Structure 1
Amino acid sequence: MIDLVFAPLYRVLELWYWLMIQLHGLTGMEILDPSFTFLYRAILMGLCIGVMAPLIGTYLVHRRLALIGDALAHTAFAGVAVGLFVNAVLDFGISPYLTAVVVAMIAALAIELISEATDVYNDVSMAIVLSTGFALGSTLISLNAGGLSVGIDQYLFGNLSTVAPFDAVVLLALCLVVVATVVVARNQLLYVTFDETAAAVSGIPVNWYNRLLVVLTALVVVGAMQILGVILVAAMLVVPVAGATQLARSFTESILIAVVLAELAVVLGIAVAYYGGATGGPVIVLVAVGLYVVAAVLGKLGDELTDSSAPETDAIEG
């Protein structure tokens, strides 16, 4: 059943392989060698993350929820630990990423429900969920019950070489779901982001859209976790968006620039990591931070040029 549902996406993956092979034939780049199909999948997943993360992150940053990615990443770590623990103790074959999706979505809803039920600020509920998630994950990892033995580093820091075809197909599906949902609900999410009170008065179910946004964030976090790792996954939700805000003049422009910066960070980061023999996730984040610095400098220069031209314009008009 699963293979039937994902069959069209496997065709997309095969087409991606073909495109990468053609590109290797044109450029001769070592990183695109056909024997490195895992890198083909890693690049594809990175490009998907480069679309999803800034798309959701732009809404989060403008709502001052930049840290929710960290909270959900730590609960996703707990989800991975649950999957590994169940596999070791009960001899199941469940994917840790599947349990990570479930736990992260529950945590996302918990953040909203805690805020609504107790009237605390979102940062308080995020701190509670983050601490609980990481404590649960650490406890399960340390138990060693039933012969539990976990190579946890790949979940903490990401690992390009462990990307399987099924992982790439699942992330493609997540990307389609996230993008389609945001496109359909764009106006409502935008209204809720900038004026919750007016949105509620106009009849928009604000709480429902708040929950939708955090659930989408959970999907992005789990999707990006295999490439970037738990510790760094939140960076792609925030850093490209922060860079885009230095250059953009509108919300839509901010999304587009953030996606461009994220895609550049992914492509350059994977290339630098490959040729430099480093871990991909941290290098991608470092490149993203570097692009943010460049965007901030360009933004400041643009502001100064605008300010300096204003007196001249006033003098001419006078």
Structure 2
Amino acid sequence: MPLLTGEDGVLAPLYWFLDLWSGLMSWLAGATGLELLQYGFMHRAILVGLCIGVMAPLIGTFLVHRQLALIGDALAHTAFAGVAVGLFLNAVLDLGVSPYLTAVVVAMIAALFIELISEATDAYNDVSMAIVLSTGFALGTTLISLNAGGLAVGVNQFLFGNLSTVSAESAAILLVLFTIVVAVVGLTRNQLLYVTFDETAAAVSGLSVNWYNRIMVMLTALVVVGAMQIMGVILVAAMLVVPVAGASQVSRSFNESLLVSVVLAELAVILGIAASYYGEATAGGVIVLIAVAIYVGAVVIGKVQTAYGEESTPEMGSINVDETDSFGD
């Protein structure tokens, strides 16, 4: 496994990029005097946060419009089970595998199971999500309770996220996930959009609806695992939903909603990371609180826009009677 993720493995170019990014952040630290830019772990945390700010709304926009907002919670809990599997294998078999890699594998398998349960049993999506969520978290807690080789040590970082634990290896894995998510969405955007807004028409037109549904849930799994590093299992789903919900209040089209949601997510991530560092608080919780505050602000702006639009548009039959008389004259 070190051949895969080590600095001499296939991820070597990504380690080079991380060094380049760290050099840029160090230069910014000298130019601005910001303390949080002086540390290597913060360089990686900021990069991971910026990637999450793009990935999460990119997938979350499709999920919210398909009323699948809670799938992030289900996959986050199964990703936690994947982390527990990785820790367990390392403790028992000394494999040296990254828990984030096992989290990716388990989360993607769980994502496929959510779709397969829905297809095979005609159950609603929320039923299959509830089954997978409870199974995944039960597996994770069972493995942790065994406490093989100190398995329970440091588990809080996976539950709540931790800026200081974003290693170079996990940041490199996140960059791979980011590339996959952005590339697949870019290639399948039109098909995913068609399936999202009119699944029946998409099926009639010849699209494999089940296949694109599977693509969507697997991409969601990748986003969840990536975001879990700083958001934690408990709060990771918020980044899939809250920025998208805020963008929908002020946007007039799907593309505009997608762009605005990314901007809102990036704003929440950057402000949240900075506030959590200087306030010595958990990053995931601060990021979500800021994202919710931005959502509230977007709701207010949306209401003002709606009210202004209604006032500026004259109602039918509201023309002044005196004006019609003058025309008659």
* Number of the residue aligned with 2:249: 246
* Number of the residue aligned with 2:18: 13
Aligned-partner Cα distance in 2 for 1:277–1:169: 26
Question: What are the equivalent positions in structure 2 for 1:168-179 lying under 5 Å apart?
Answer: 168-179=171-182
Unaligned runs of 5+ residues in structure 2 are 325-329
- The amino acid that maps onto 1:17 is S
- The yes-or-no answer on 1:287 pairing with 2:304 is no
Aligned-partner Cα distance in 2 for 1:15–1:97: 23
1:190 aligns with one of 193, 196, 206: 193
Question: What are the equivalent positions in structure 2 for 1:110-125 lying under 5 Å apart?
Answer: 110-125=113-128
CA contact 1:81–1:140 (8 Å) conserved in 2: yes
Q: CA shift at 1:148, angstroms?
A: 3.9
* Number of the residue aligned with 2:158: 155
SS in 2 for 1:5: coil
Aligned-partner Cα distance in 2 for 1:312–1:17: 58
Aligned-partner Cα distance in 2 for 1:71–1:196: 23
Q: TM-score, normalised by structure 1?
A: 0.95
Question: What are the equivalent positions in structure 2 for 1:42-191 lying under 5 Å apart?
Answer: 42-145=45-148, 148-191=151-194
CA contact 1:228–1:281 (8 Å) conserved in 2: yes
* Number of the residue aligned with 2:30: 25
Aligned-partner Cα distance in 2 for 1:175–1:270: 19
CA contact 2:145–2:152 (8 Å) conserved in 1: no
* Number of the residue aligned with 2:208: 205
Q: CA shift at 1:92, angstroms?
A: 2.4
SS in 1 for 2:59: helix
- The amino acid that maps onto 1:304 is A
In the TM superposition, what whole-angstrom CA distance separates every residue of 1:18-65 from its partner, at most 9, and x where no partner exists?
Answer: 2212222221111112xx110000000000000000000000000000
SS in 2 for 1:230: helix
Q: CA 1:12 to 1:268, structure 2 compared with 1: closer, same or farther past 3 Å?
A: same
Q: CA 1:134 to 1:314, structure 2 compared with 1: closer, same or farther past 3 Å?
A: farther
Q: CA shift at 1:279, angstroms?
A: 1.2
CA contact 2:78–2:132 (8 Å) conserved in 1: yes
Aligned length: 316
CA contact 1:89–1:147 (8 Å) conserved in 2: no
Q: CA 1:232 to 1:313, structure 2 compared with 1: closer, same or farther past 3 Å?
A: same
RMSD of aligned alpha carbons = 1.6
- The yes-or-no answer on 1:275 pairing with 2:248 is no
Larger Rg over CA atoms: 2
Q: CA 1:147 to 1:168, structure 2 compared with 1: closer, same or farther past 3 Å?
A: closer
Q: CA 1:203 to 1:171, structure 2 compared with 1: closer, same or farther past 3 Å?
A: same
- The yes-or-no answer on 1:39 pairing with 2:73 is no
Aligned-partner Cα distance in 1 for 2:302–2:35: 36
SS in 2 for 1:246: helix
- The yes-or-no answer on 1:219 pairing with 2:239 is no
Give the share of equivalent positions with the same residue, in percent.
73
Q: CA shift at 1:136, angstroms?
A: 1.0
Aligned-partner Cα distance in 2 for 1:311–1:68: 43
Q: CA shift at 1:299, angstroms?
A: 0.6
Between 252-261 and 91-100, the greater mean CA deviation after superposition: 91-100
Q: CA 1:144 to 1:31, structure 2 compared with 1: closer, same or farther past 3 Å?
A: closer
SS in 2 for 1:249: coil
CA contact 1:89–1:148 (8 Å) conserved in 2: no
Q: CA shift at 1:300, angstroms?
A: 0.8
Q: CA shift at 1:315, angstroms?
A: 4.2
Between 262-271 and 169-178, the greater mean CA deviation after superposition: 169-178
In the TM superposition, what whole-angstrom CA distance separates every residue of 1:66-115 from its partner, at most 9, and x where no partner exists?
Answer: 00000000001111111111222223211111111111000000000000
Q: CA 1:311 to 1:161, structure 2 compared with 1: closer, same or farther past 3 Å?
A: same
Unaligned runs of 5+ residues in structure 1 are none
SS in 2 for 1:25: helix
